[in-house]
Structure 1
Amino acid sequence: MSAPTSAAMPRVHVLEILGNAIVGGMETYVNRLVRGLLPRNFRVTILCPFASPMTSALAEAGCDVIVAPIADDPRWATIQLATTLIAKHDIDVIHANLSNAHALAALVSAVTGRACLATIHGRAISLLDLEAHRLTENAHMTVVCQAAYYQALALGVDPQRLHHIANGVDIGERAIEPSASLHNILGLPKATTVVGYIGRLAPEKGPDLFLRMARLLATDPRDVHFVLIGDGPMRQTLEKMAGELAITNRVHFTGVRDDVDALLPSLVLTVLSSHAEGMPLALMEAMAAGLPVVATSVGGVPELVEHRYSGYLVSPDDPRALADAVKELLDNEPLRLRMGAAARVRARDHWPQSLCTERMGALLRQLARSRVVGTEVSRPEATVAAAIAPIAPMKISSKLTPR
């Protein structure tokens, strides 16, 4: 007997709680997941702290979007709002992204009897995530990389409520031929060699290391240029740093772009200089576009990049190692093209977005079946108090944390 189609399955209504709504890896993940779930007989309601172009796009796709404050210590008004949404719209399961959303989801799960699933997008699992997870037996956790999975087990997360579902990337009909689009934007000749950084300009991403690497390569006779695609709290600091390093004529900042896919073919390679990562979507996008990568060996990055086959892995906090690896690729075009082709095949074969969506959809559907049907809460504040009361301060030994 064949498996039932999506149309034959009961419709599942998901409350998607977002801890943020800016442009970044988590938001890209949610956008792709939601758009993949809708045609699979899911309905999605979004609860997020503020409106943004991403929430507007999700509303246009058919989601209901509600805006409310989501603090690390959730406000009672927000808890009431979420419980009301679940009762009024007959929501089946809750999916949370980021720690503040996880805390809210766990409290609401305890009140309503709906299962909640929190996706941990980085390698590190916060104390708030752990506290939320142990608040109710209906709380499940999914991680995007093996490094985070093993850390969660070491910290005592119940393996029966822990799931590993890797991020996905759309391959589609991506063009991998060189394009002059980024060169036109930057005002550079089409033949100029451009090395890219794609991501938030935030401390954990190490964009300052990218600039220090650029300084080491600034004397290269090929007149190599370096572009940072993205924005974040370090933008002004980095622009000042480029001046102090005397590389302003070689470094370009584009800010946030919604056409990154179209810009990737203009790069010869991409660099990830992060101090910490989960399974970075920007790196996966570059690999899917057929670009070789030079990346720091942190978090789930070694699960993506096969050293010396689809790219280079280097130690974190080492701009010289980054520069040496980039130079080796710049000096050897056949190697660069071979690594880029291998990266594309690896992304296509191991992390298609369809597989990520299928696995998440199956898990959400499974958790939806565990909902406590007919749960009514006449005094939700008492239910929340009862849920929180048994929670004693949690002590986590550093001995449990993998080195």
Structure 2
Amino acid sequence: MKIKVLYLSVRADWGGGPEHLYQLIRHSPDSLHAIVVCPDEPPYFSKISKLSSVRRMIPIPHRSFSLFTLLELCRAVRSDNVMLVHSHGKGAGLYSRLLAVLMGIPCVHTYHGVHVGSYGKLKRLVYGCYEKLAGLFTARGIAVSDGEGALLRTLGYVPLKRLAVIPNGVVLPNTLVDKGVAAGRSDVVTITRFDYQKNSEFIVNVLCALERKGALDKFRFVFIGTGEARSTLQREITERWGEDVALFVGTTAEPGRYLEKGFCYFSSARWEGLPLAVLEAMSYGLPVVASRVVGNEDAVSGNGLLYDLTNAEQAAEALMDLYNDEALWQRCSTYGRRAVAEKYSVVQMANAVWDIYTILTTR
């Protein structure tokens, strides 16, 4: 039996959320009939449209809500005989819960990171009330890590019996990291959007800490990604330390080229769900140094080192520990690759989501 799913995302640009959606559809059974709703933007609108299970693409505005769009989606649900809607991320969740109410179809919602720490007291209260109300119309809420699941249970955003924990998954590559060195420096790779969540500017503090320890010449930070704050950070680093300290790659369809040549992966994120970039680095056997936040804590267990979010000295020490201790580096490399193979397979993730679809559409 075909299961007709309307997928919703208010992003299709570079990022973990759109990549998750792409891999989920790509690795679902042939009996999936997908209608995908997302902005018409590179690279994922085009990538998703080419998947064999995708029957229709519906473009919507990037990260904004429109009543006109909601009405168009209602028509699509009716004309395509959609059986359930699956939203990804906060913005898409508003559309999906409304569709569940208006069209009487089950809603599956994947959170992809829960964060209210930067909200003021009133905004946190209002947003919490909204999520709890929306949770009543969510047939299944999916947390992408155990840490995110625990946070959702604490916040009460979805009834406990409707909460599922399905860890993110990535494809295990055939190649392994070879620990390359560029111009005498070990590459510390980070994939980022240069926004508040990813906290890329914190790396300036880490560079300062490495300089104080006399270890700045041992590393080169490789930034993959783009965003509004990129040019400011690039200028600050270049003016302060020159061009040897950092390489700004921009967006790339082949981040694996840099991961397999890296020394380690670095995350400075303020919050995560379960970061695909970290899992992808682990899949190549690249050790991880990451901020101690939900998502990072789930991924980095025996295969890397965690530091307190605002402690640049601790982050610098973690980098130096990996640099000075070959046995530690090898152990983190081996455990990371093994964790991806055993716990974070994209096939396992897609199968678990498919089981939810089957349950909700055969009641």
TM-score of the superposed pair, with normalisation by structure 1: 0.81
Partner of 1:23: 14
Q: Letter of the aligned partner of 1:65 in structure 2?
A: M
Partner of 1:112: 103
| CA deviation after TM superposition for structure 1 residue 275, in Å | 1.5
Counterpart contact for 1:70–1:101, Cα < 8 Å? no
Q: Which runs of 4+ in 1 moved over 6 A?
A: none
| CA deviation after TM superposition for structure 1 residue 221, in Å | 7.5
Q: Which segment drifts farther, 346-355 or 131-140? A: 131-140
Q: In 2, distance between residues paired with 1:97 and 1:14? A: 13
Counterpart contact for 1:124–1:148, Cα < 8 Å? no
Q: Against the structure 1 CA distance between its residues 290 and 71, is the aligned structure 2 distance closer, same or farther, given a 3 Å change threshold? A: closer
Partner of 1:322: 315
| CA deviation after TM superposition for structure 1 residue 284, in Å | 0.8
Partner of 1:167: 168
Match of residue 56, structure 1, among 32, 38, 46: 46
- Mind listing any 5+ residue stretches in structure 1 that lack a counterpart? 1-9, 371-403
Q: Does 1:151 align with 2:151?
A: yes
Q: In 1, distance between residues paired with 2:336 and 2:199? A: 23
Counterpart contact for 1:102–1:129, Cα < 8 Å? no
Q: Which segment drifts farther, 169-178 or 85-94? A: 169-178
Q: In 1, distance between residues paired with 2:313 and 2:63? A: 40
| CA deviation after TM superposition for structure 1 residue 245, in Å | 3.3
Q: In 2, distance between residues paired with 1:321 and 1:247? A: 24
Partner of 1:359: 352
Counterpart contact for 1:288–1:343, Cα < 8 Å? yes
Q: Letter of the aligned partner of 1:141 in structure 2?
A: G
Please give the residue correspondences for 1:294-373 in structure 2 after superposition, counting only pairs within 5 Å.
Answer: 294-306=289-301, 309-370=302-363
Q: Does 1:225 align with 2:232?
A: no
| CA deviation after TM superposition for structure 1 residue 119, in Å | 0.5
Q: Against the structure 1 CA distance between its residues 113 and 155, is the aligned structure 2 distance closer, same or farther, given a 3 Å change threshold? A: same
> Cα deviations across residues 286-335 of structure 1 (Å, max 9, x unaligned)?
111101111111012222212xx311111111111110110111112232
Same amino acid, percent of matched pairs: 23
Partner of 1:7: none
Q: In 2, distance between residues paired with 1:104 and 1:335? A: 47
> Cα deviations across residues 196-241 of structure 1 (Å, max 9, x unaligned)?
1122211221211223212332443854222111112210221132
| CA deviation after TM superposition for structure 1 residue 369, in Å | 2.9
| CA deviation after TM superposition for structure 1 residue 86, in Å | 0.9
Counterpart contact for 2:173–2:283, Cα < 8 Å? no
> Cα deviations across residues 331-376 of structure 1 (Å, max 9, x unaligned)?
1223212221111112211111111010011112222235xxxxxx
Partner of 1:140: 140
| CA deviation after TM superposition for structure 1 residue 70, in Å | 6.5
> Cα deviations across residues 32-87 of structure 1 (Å, max 9, x unaligned)?
001011x4410111111333221111111132211123665x42211211111111
Q: Letter of the aligned partner of 1:106 in structure 2?
A: R
Q: Against the structure 1 CA distance between its residues 250 and 91, is the aligned structure 2 distance closer, same or farther, given a 3 Å change threshold? A: same
Match of residue 69, structure 1, among 61, 65, 74: 61
| CA deviation after TM superposition for structure 1 residue 256, in Å | 0.9
Q: Letter of the aligned partner of 2:79 in structure 1?
A: K
Counterpart contact for 2:145–2:295, Cα < 8 Å? yes
Q: Against the structure 1 CA distance between its residues 34 and 254, is the aligned structure 2 distance closer, same or farther, given a 3 Å change threshold? A: same
- Mind listing any 5+ residue stretches in structure 2 that lack a counterpart? 117-123
Counterpart contact for 1:200–1:232, Cα < 8 Å? yes
Q: Does 1:177 align with 2:178?
A: yes
User: What is the number of equivalent residue pairs in this alignment?
Assistant: 349
Q: Against the structure 1 CA distance between its residues 85 and 338, is the aligned structure 2 distance closer, same or farther, given a 3 Å change threshold? A: same
Counterpart contact for 2:11–2:63, Cα < 8 Å? no
Q: In 1, distance between residues paired with 2:177 and 2:221? A: 20
Partner of 2:34: 44
Q: Secondary structure of the equivalent of 2:260?
A: helix
Q: In 1, distance between residues paired with 2:59 and 2:6? A: 13
Q: Against the structure 1 CA distance between its residues 256 and 152, is the aligned structure 2 distance closer, same or farther, given a 3 Å change threshold? A: same
Counterpart contact for 1:110–1:138, Cα < 8 Å? no
Q: Against the structure 1 CA distance between its residues 341 and 243, is the aligned structure 2 distance closer, same or farther, given a 3 Å change threshold? A: same
Counterpart contact for 2:195–2:228, Cα < 8 Å? yes
Q: Letter of the aligned partner of 1:58 in structure 2?
A: I
Counterpart contact for 1:106–1:133, Cα < 8 Å? no
Partner of 1:381: none
Partner of 2:231: 236
Q: Secondary structure of the equivalent of 2:50?
A: helix
Q: Letter of the aligned partner of 2:104 in structure 1?
A: G
Q: Secondary structure of the equivalent of 1:266?
A: coil
Q: Secondary structure of the equivalent of 2:208?
A: helix
Counterpart contact for 1:96–1:117, Cα < 8 Å? yes
Q: Secondary structure of the equivalent of 1:207?
A: coil
| CA deviation after TM superposition for structure 1 residue 111, in Å | 1.1
Q: Secondary structure of the equivalent of 1:134?
A: helix
Q: In 2, distance between residues paired with 1:169 and 1:212? A: 31
Counterpart contact for 2:279–2:299, Cα < 8 Å? yes
